[in-house]
């Protein structure tokens, strides 16, 4: 263990206070790099979830937070962002230890966008029309927006700081209470961050953390005191959660998997594009929902583009997160490592060619997959259809742009994507034709002020900006007496 002293917590953070857990079950967290035990927390069971939801309900019903003016709630989010930035080193080291990304990548891919979305939700709360007068056929109506209530938030392990901010941010901006169930692989940072939000000014009762696995998540989804579930994770789990929410008519936002296409046009400046293009496919060791893992290239420039990508990807050195030379950290678990290597073998068996396949270092857990690029991929191959969640990019050749658009759209997913071209207007025109939630022109990023989410199997609903805030609100219409005019 390089930078973090093992954290062993005996209590659960429920309603803004540390309390004894119901059972003696514990979640142990092992370093994906070294295999060392880096900490453990109590595993919350259904009784703990009930205590957390009860605290959240009482806090919500008391009205303290939901009746706090939106501008004051926004100020608390901004304060939380400041605290995260002040303690970025400590938080980054902990998350690096938990999930294997380098501290530099945690700063770039989690802290920066995480604090960015907190600022974005604060801005959205400041400018949102919380009350609005409308005139209809009966005269005047007052439309008011109210917090949806108690939110159950369930998150994945791949970018835990960013995901926590994207759950706490909109829920708190809206005036809701939140019970967070972090991924069992990364529960330690959730406790630290929840305390930080309390320090920023969130009142007692409003925030709880219930670390645990699928059973804990199910208890939260099924709890009758929860009004909305917000989920980030796999499409398979999202489907199961949506079905349970359907039974109890809970509101539900789902941020799920992806298999995004980067469409490279024939006019691309490939020397300029290659570093961003490869990064977009392999960021976070490929453990990114928005990874651009299908790279569609014009057949006329195929070899040149592949060579440029291989040259860049070969510099994505796999190694220990503590090594400043490391570009690709270990995969989260040995199971994930086996899954990714199985996909690589499947790609070869299906006839694709691995033009780059870098072995991981033989250290620690040996849970690395080095940068891997396949050519000769067709869009019906398993490696082009399924989310691999490792640094594996498939190059697919196309003959004309209509074919490229058809290939990009021929996917069960629709989360992200990009177009790479010298002609920005042409890029935007193509971006409009892709059935996916976000597109980048000559790069890819998630903008805190703009809606983010999936088409098709990538999810339901949107996060970020006004749309993200809105999904934590109910809309109420109060009809004024006929003839009334304010």
- Can you tell me the distance from the alpha carbon of 395 to that of 375, in angstroms, rounded to the nearest whole number? 5
- Can you tell me the distance from the alpha carbon of 381 to that of 34, in angstroms, rounded to the nearest whole number? 34
Among 55, 165, 171, 237, binds ligand NAD (CB under 6 A): 237
Q: At what angle do helices 70-86 and 160-174 cross, to 10 degrees?
A: 160
Q: Within a 13 Å sphere around the CA of 84, how many CA atoms are in the beta-carbon half?
A: 31
Task: Please report how close the Cβ of residue 212 comes to ligand NAD at its closest, in angstroms.
Answer: 7
217 makes contact with ligand NAD (CB under 6 A): yes
Residue (170 or 217) nearer to ligand NAD, CB: 217
Closest alpha carbon to 282 in 392, 386, 356, 396: 392
438 makes contact with ligand NAD (CB under 6 A): no
183 makes contact with ligand NAD (CB under 6 A): yes
Residue (91 or 241) nearer to ligand NAD, CB: 241
Task: Find the DSSP H helices in 350-387.
Answer: 382-385
29 makes contact with ligand NAD (CB under 6 A): no
471 makes contact with ligand NAD (CB under 6 A): no
Task: Please report how close the Cβ of residue 356 comes to ligand NAD at its closest, in angstroms.
Answer: 23
Task: Please report how close the Cβ of residue 453 comes to ligand NAD at its closest, in angstroms.
Answer: 7
Pairing of strands 139-147, 473-479: antiparallel
Q: Within a 13 Å sphere around the CA of 196, how many CA atoms are in the beta-carbon half?
A: 25
- Can you tell me the distance from the alpha carbon of 413 to that of 436, in angstroms, rounded to the nearest whole number? 8
Binding track, positions 279-318, relative to ligand NAD; x by CB under 6 A: ----------x-----------------------------
- Can you tell me the distance from the alpha carbon of 33 to that of 16, in angstroms, rounded to the nearest whole number? 32
Active centre residues (catalytic)? 255
Burial class (CB in 10 A: 0-12, 13-18, 19+), 134: exposed
Residue (105 or 387) nearer to ligand NAD, CB: 387
Q: Which of residues 362-401 bind ligand NAD (CB under 6 A)?
A: 387, 389
Among 12, 33, 156, 202, binds ligand NAD (CB under 6 A): 156
Task: Please report how close the Cβ of residue 286 comes to ligand NAD at its closest, in angstroms.
Answer: 11
Task: Please report how close the Cβ of residue 438 comes to ligand NAD at its closest, in angstroms.
Answer: 10
Among 34, 40, 111, 158, binds ligand NAD (CB under 6 A): 158
- Can you tell me the distance from the alpha carbon of 478 to that of 143, in angstroms, rounded to the nearest whole number? 6
Task: Please report how close the Cβ of residue 53 comes to ligand NAD at its closest, in angstroms.
Answer: 14
Task: Please report how close the Cβ of residue 431 comes to ligand NAD at its closest, in angstroms.
Answer: 19
Helix (H) or strand (E) holding 116: helix 112-127
420 makes contact with ligand NAD (CB under 6 A): no
Q: Give the three-class secondary structure for 139.
A: strand
- Can you tell me the distance from the alpha carbon of 393 to that of 381, in angstroms, rounded to the nearest whole number? 13
Residue (173 or 229) nearer to ligand NAD, CB: 229
255 makes contact with ligand NAD (CB under 6 A): yes
- Can you tell me the distance from the alpha carbon of 251 to that of 228, in angstroms, rounded to the nearest whole number? 4
Residue with the CB atom nearest ligand NAD in the bound state: 217
Among 415, 431, 439, 460, binds ligand NAD (CB under 6 A): 415
256 makes contact with ligand NAD (CB under 6 A): yes
234 makes contact with ligand NAD (CB under 6 A): yes
Closest alpha carbon to 365 in 11, 63, 35: 35
Among 39, 147, 258, 329, binds ligand NAD (CB under 6 A): 258
- Can you tell me the distance from the alpha carbon of 353 to that of 184, in angstroms, rounded to the nearest whole number? 36
Q: Within a 13 Å sphere around the CA of 71, how many CA atoms are in the beta-carbon half?
A: 1
Residue (111 or 158) nearer to ligand NAD, CB: 158
Give me the residue label for tokens 């209470």.
177
- Can you tell me the distance from the alpha carbon of 247 to that of 265, in angstroms, rounded to the nearest whole number? 46
Q: Give the three-class secondary structure for 360.
A: coil
Name the one range near ligand NAD by CB under 6 A: 74-82, 148-156, 342-350, 464-472: 148-156
Task: Please report how close the Cβ of residue 148 comes to ligand NAD at its closest, in angstroms.
Answer: 19
Site residues (vs ligand NAD, CB under 6 A) = 154-159, 181, 183-184, 213-214, 217-218, 221, 232-234, 237, 240-241, 255-258, 289, 387, 389, 415, 459
């Amino acid at each position: 263990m390089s930078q973090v002293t093992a954290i062993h917590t005996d209590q659960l953070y429920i309603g803004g206070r540390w309390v004894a857990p119901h059972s003696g079950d514990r979640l142990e967290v092992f370093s994906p790099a070294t295999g060392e035990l880096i900490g453990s927390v109590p595993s919350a069971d259904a009784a703990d979830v009930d205590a957390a939801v009860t605290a959240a309900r009482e806090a919500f019903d008391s009205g303290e937070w939901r009746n706090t003016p939106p501008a004051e709630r926004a100020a608390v989010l901004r304060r939380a962002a400041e605290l995260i930035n002040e303690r970025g080193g400590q938080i980054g080291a902990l998350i690096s230890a938990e999930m294997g990304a380098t501290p530099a990548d945690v700063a770039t891919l989690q802290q920066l966008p995480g604090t960015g979305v907190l600022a974005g939700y604060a801005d959205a709360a400041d400018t949102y029309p919380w009350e609005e007068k409308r005139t209809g056929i009966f005269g005047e109506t007052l439309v008011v927006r109210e917090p949806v209530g108690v939110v159950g938030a369930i998150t994945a392990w791949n970018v835990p700081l960013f995901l926590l901010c994207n759950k706490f941010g909109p829920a708190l901006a809206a005036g809701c209470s939140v019970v967070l169930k972090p991924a069992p692989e990364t529960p330690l940072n959730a406790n630290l961050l929840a305390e930080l939000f309390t320090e920023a000014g969130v009142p007692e009762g409003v925030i709880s953390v219930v670390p645990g696995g699928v059973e804990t998540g199910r208890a939260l989804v099924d709890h009758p005191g929860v009004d909305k579930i917000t989920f980030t994770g796999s499409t398979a789990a999202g489907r199961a959660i949506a079905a349970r929410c359907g039974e109890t008519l809970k509101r539900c936002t789902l941020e799920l998997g992806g298999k995004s296409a980067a469409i490279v046009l024939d006019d691309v400046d490939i020397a300029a594009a290659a570093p961003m293009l490869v990064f977009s496919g392999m960021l976070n060791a490929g453990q990114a929902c928005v990874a651009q893992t299908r790279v569609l290239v014009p057949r006329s420039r195929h070899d040149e583009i592949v060579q440029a990508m291989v040259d860049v990807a070969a510099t994505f050195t796999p190694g220990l997160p503590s090594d400043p030379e490391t570009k690709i950290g270990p995969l989260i678990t040995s199971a994930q490592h086996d899954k990714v290597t199985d996909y690589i073998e499947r790609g070869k068996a299906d006839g694709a060619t691995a033009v780059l396949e870098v072995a991981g270092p033989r250290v620690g857990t040996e849970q690395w997959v080095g940068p891997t690029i396949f050519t000769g991929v067709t869009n019906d191959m398993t490696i082009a259809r399924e989310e691999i969640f490792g640094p594996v990019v498939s190059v697919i050749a196309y003959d004309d742009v209509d074919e490229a658009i058809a290939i990009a759209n021929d996917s069960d997913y629709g989360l992200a994507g990009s177009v790479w071209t010298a002609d920005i207007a042409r890029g935007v025109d193509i971006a409009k034709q892709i059935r996916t939630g976000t597109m980048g022109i000559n790069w890819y990023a998630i903008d805190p002020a703009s809606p983010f989410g999936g088409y098709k199997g990538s999810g339901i609903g949107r996060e970020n900006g006004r749309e993200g805030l809105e999904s934590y609100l109910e809309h109420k219409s109060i009809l004024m007496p006929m003839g009334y005019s304010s």
